[in-house]
Amino acid sequence: MSKEIKKPAEPRDAASLIMLKGSPNDPEVLVGRRPEEARFMPSVWVFPGGAVEEADFQLQTPHSLREDVLARLTRTTAPELAHALAWTALREMREETGLLLGKVGDDNSATESEAHEAYQKAGLVPNLTALDYLMRACTPEYQPIRFNTRFFVADGSLTSSDIWQTSELEEIRWVRLNKLPDMKIAGITGIVIKEAQQYWLRQPEPNPDRKVMFFSADMDHNRIWHEE
């Protein structure tokens, strides 16, 4: 009798935001620890982030993604999803840490969320222009919960509001990026840390042709690395 081949779970589109500030060689990064009872990666230190929601496609802002960032995202992503992913990153940061990344102004978006209301009350509009696209990773095929995550990076000194503690993340704080590998992190976080260290040190110029790392693994646990 042949063994039934289990079909991998369909990954959800998601975004994560690496906020860096300080020294080029030893910056601080914004992280929080997932609750012990969390279904996905319990007690693990993570960057703010989460899955795309339907309302994320409705955001309108005069401070949209840079053209070079959009060009790199749309190698593997539709333009409307690319913009939704960027807003997902900012929305999740607000929901999980209380911080905003915006500029003074008003917008007429149809989107409705606590994060959008927070921007409006602060007299800000989301600043997608501040985001750069760092890399992409997809949860391995053998995992029951999967995300196709785009990692964005931005200057943490541009944030406003205060950090608050939420039910989604615990012990939210800025930590030295070089010390994060000593904490309990997922394997993919270690890979992202190395990319973020190089990015912050080099401060690359806007370039639509810049290579983007992609990481995943197949059902046989073979790691998949390539550049997009």
β-strand partners of 223: 217
Q: Going by CATH, does the domain composed of 20-227 fall within 3.90.79.10? A: yes
Spell out the domain ranges in the chain.
Answer: 20-227
Diameter of the chain measured on Cα atoms: 66
Residues 175, 113: Cα–Cα separation, whole Å: 29
Q: What angle do the packed helices 114-121 and 79-97 form, to 10 degrees?
A: 80
For residue 185, what pLDDT is reported?
94
Q: Decide: pTM greater than 0.75.
A: yes
Q: Which two tokens stand for residue 146?
A: 């999967």
Q: What is the mean pLDDT of each run of 10 residues along the chain (228 residues)?
A: 66 97 96 82 90 93 96 97 98 95 81 84 94 95 90 96 84 95 92 96 97 89 86
For residue 21, what pLDDT is reported?
97
